[in-house]
Chain A
Amino acid sequence: DIQMTQSPSSLSASVGDRVTITCRASQDIGNYLNWYQKKPGKAPNLIIYDTSILQTGVPSRFSGSGYGTDFTFTIRGLEAEDIATYYCQQDYDSVTFGGGTKVEIK
């Protein structure tokens, strides 16, 4: 089974800051990596798929990069509405989610 490890598990940043989350796969998954935003009481929302492709309607301040085992998710210019937990997910072999990163406002 492919394990997905996210870091940090939580972070606190100010509005306008650049926020970076990393996700590491236990084996090479190519670019088969997706990112979701999860707010309390709401369903998850796909933000980025195939490592770097922005889902339709998602603001351009969100971006993703990486390949193989190491991936990065970035929010350039954090906004208050971005407060949520973010999850990476691989679909190279079956489906696995990372443990999540809770983003809070400082």
Chain B
Amino acid sequence: QMLLQESGPGLVRSSETLSLTCSVTGGSISTSKYFWGWVRQTPGKGLEWIGSIYHSGGPEYNPSLKSRVTILVDASKNHFSLTLTSVTAADTAVYYCARHFSRQKRPSALDLWGLGTLVSVS
């Protein structure tokens, strides 16, 4: 059974860079079945898609965050990562990594999620 687990600092200083990793266990990140994504929920707000990536393809990003976001896959470590630059208090959120079904080589529904990790920007 595949599991996802986020890891990274819980506190980031304003204007600095947020970096998180999602470790995939119980299966290969290089499978053709899935895409891999990041979603966040800011306090009291809804869900916001950050971006997604295929193991061998280019990432897709939320246009509102695109200038600050990088998502990468490291198949050798079976994990994928999120980098968000120039953070502000508005980036304080619970960050989730998740798995998408792959439909016609595009990300579809998110059927498996990590537990989430709270990142606060001071």
Partner of B47, one of A1, A49, A94, A100: A100
> With A43-B116, A94-B60 known to touch, is A38 a contact of B47 (CB < 8 Å)?
yes
Question: What is the bound-complex CA distance between A50 and B110, given in angstroms?
Answer: 11
B interface secondary structure, majority: strand
**Total number of A residues with any Cβ neighbor in B under 8 Å:** 23
* B113 vs chain A, min Cβ distance (A): 4
Contact B96 A44 (CB under 8 A): yes
* Chain A proximity of B109: nearest CB distance (Å): 4
Whether B47 pairs with A95 at a CB distance below 8 angstroms is no
Chain A minimum-CB-distance residue to B113: A43
Distance of A1 Cα from B63 Cα, bound (Å) = 8
Binding site for B on A (CB under 8 A): 1, 32, 34, 36, 38, 43-46, 49-50, 55, 85, 87, 89, 91, 94-100
User: Chain B interface (Cβ within 8 Å of chain A)?
Assistant: 37, 39, 41, 46-49, 52, 60, 62-63, 96, 98, 100-101, 103, 106-111, 113-116
